[in-house]
Amino acid sequence: MASTPIGDDSSLTRFIISILPDSTYFCITGALDPTRNGTSETALLFETVRIVCPNLTAMQQAVRALKDCKEVKIKKLRHDIEKARPTDPAGYRGITVRFAWQDQEKSIQLLTFQQLRWLLWANTIIPDDAKTDTKASRSYAIAVSDYLDAIDRGESPTKIPLATDFGLPRRLDLYQPLADDEIVFTDTVAEITTPFAHGVTAFAPTDSALAKFKLLATNEIFTETDPSIFQWQCREFFSSSQGLPNIKTLFTESFRQLEPGNYAFAVGANSTVRFAKITEPNARRWSQFPHALLFCNQPVLTSGNFVIERDTVVHITKVNIRSHTLLGNLATETEPRQLSDRRLATLGHFFQALDRLSIPYHGILISKF
């Protein structure tokens, strides 16, 4: 039987979701680098689909769910916490599973959110050929893994390991140096210039304008930030006493229980809406909530903030795209405000999702920033 990543089989993806334990933050993500070369074990980490778990306990619960499922036959389960082989990437702490399902052999990896951060970072420094790896790079990879593992275990991390401590260039740092031009600061309020509105900073769309939003929403997906900025956002998020359990998936019934307030949201490539209530500001240079956390820095269809109010019913009264969080590394020829205008149309995906969930948004006010 040929091994197939579960991303090639949407029915298996749905099946895996159905057997996972009840949690707000299990997230199945696509392959990080489907064309990755290297040893078979190293390539597997980057080429297979991942179940990202909120913490170590949840990861073990997910493994148990696979083991207990009668429709799945585990053929090989590797936990690489302690005994990585010389050909394996040093510092990897996740779990890889090979199993049979419906007469096919599948592979998947399970890892915590912090282990995902390590994998995103390691993708830039682990060579395709293990023979070209060095003792210094392996030692540094393990040190970064230990640092993130301390966060996973709820401990106070030790000093952040620096690449220069291992004789390596600074560009390999977990928190890579950011140039001044890598982050765009836009006005808090900016005029809109779109097919839906001109010369205003916010508008209440007509029914026909909402229909155009939904009609013009394209299948284009984009990543919130580049991997290096994502690491900085994670650092600020976890140091501000916020946590992943606050992130939830939008459902009709649970929406009715939400408290009035301001929420960050994103619509994933599969049209799932994930959100979190904004409780306190983050560091000055970031938005109040790093939207990239909602889908583990995977591509999304749109994202922003929405406001919930309650009168006779709970409904959404305001929405924006928080476009300065969408720009990431500004290696683009498009002027930021023009890009922001273009991204405004992606809200059509959000309205489509609300329609499917029968969530009211009558009289909604739309803005950009």
SS3 track for 180-212: HHHCCCCCCCCCEECCCCEEECEECCCHHHHHH
Does pLDDT of 334 surpass 70?
no
Mean pLDDT, to the nearest integer, of 316-335? 64
Q: Which of 142, 172, 202 is a domain's end point?
A: 172
Quick one: 62 and 184 in the same domain? Answer: no
Quick one: 31 and 91 in the same domain? Answer: yes
How many percent of the chain have pLDDT more than 70?
80
Q: Which segment of 27-36, 118-127, 179-188, 346-355 scores lowest on mean pLDDT?
A: 179-188
Quick one: 251 and 138 in the same domain? Answer: no
| Cα–Cα distance for residue pair 194/346, rounded to 1 Å | 12
Quick one: 249 and 161 in the same domain? Answer: no
Give the strands of the sheet with 314-320, arranged side by side.
Answer: 202-203, 365-367, 314-320, 300-310, 261-268, 273-277, 248-249
Does pLDDT of 265 surpass 90?
yes
Residue 338 burial (CB < 10 Å; 0-12/13-18/19+)?
exposed
Quick one: 94 and 129 in the same domain? Answer: yes
Quick one: 197 and 154 in the same domain? Answer: no
**Residue 47 is part of which domain span?**
3-172
Quick one: 131 and 238 in the same domain? Answer: no
Quick one: 269 and 219 in the same domain? Answer: yes
Q: Which of 138, 172, 206 is a domain's end point?
A: 172
DSSP H or E stretch at residue 110: strand 104-112
Does pLDDT of 311 surpass 70?
yes
Quick one: 19 and 161 in the same domain? Answer: yes
Smallest CA-to-CA distance from 323 within 307, 335, 331 is with: 335
- pTM, rounded to two decimals: 0.84
Q: Write out pLDDT tens, residues 140-173.
A: 999 999 999 999 888 877 789 999 999 999 989 9
More confident: 330 or 248: 248
The number of distinct structural domains making up the chain is 2
Question: Across 296-368, where does the E strand assignment appear?
Answer: 300-310, 314-320, 365-367
The CA R_g of the chain, rounded to the nearest whole Å, is 21
- The pLDDT value recorded for residue 117 is 93
Quick one: 165 and 209 in the same domain? Answer: no
Q: Which of 172, 195, 223 is a domain's end point?
A: 172
Quick one: 38 and 161 in the same domain? Answer: yes
Q: Write out pLDDT tens, residues 195-209.
A: 777 778 888 999 998
| Cα–Cα distance for residue pair 30/136, rounded to 1 Å | 30
